Amino acid sequence: AQSVSQHNHHVILSEAASLELGCNYSYGGTVNLFWYVQYPGQHLQLLLKYFSGDPLVKGIKGFEAEFIKSKFSFNLRKPSVQWSDTAEYFCAVNFKAAGNKLTFGGGTRVLVKP
């Protein structure tokens, strides 16, 4: 079965530090890739997505992600985090062979200390 894994369950870092969250997915042919963020008490919001083209995708709030097909990875990065980036981050993959469904990773809770 298709699966998505996020390597870190919790990340704690200070403001201005760089952030990288890992996301790997099982082989499943053609994929669409997403990162969603869930701020405390709020609903899931789309950070960025990759469907095709340039594998380096820029999203909102200074986030970017790189699709490396050979590694089945779609890691999320931000060069300098802010306290307001404290949230839970979810990687999600649409395996086209599975139709419209999204498969979510387990999520990574990020705490940015002021």
Site for other proteins, rule CB under 8 A: 32, 34, 36, 42-46, 49, 90, 94, 96, 99-107
Among candidate residues 35, 31, 106, the one with its CA nearest the CA of residue 72: 31
Q: Is the CB of 37 or the CB of 112 nearer to other proteins?
A: 37
Residue 16 beta carbon to other proteins: minimum distance, rounded to whole angstroms:
28
Question: From the centroid of its chain, how far is CA 6?
Answer: 8
Angle (nearest 5°) at CA 90 between 42 and 73: 160
Q: Is the CB of 43 or the CB of 114 nearer to other proteins?
A: 43
Residue 71 beta carbon to other proteins: minimum distance, rounded to whole angstroms:
22
End-to-end CA distance of the chain: 41
Q: Is the CB of 53 or the CB of 114 nearer to other proteins?
A: 53
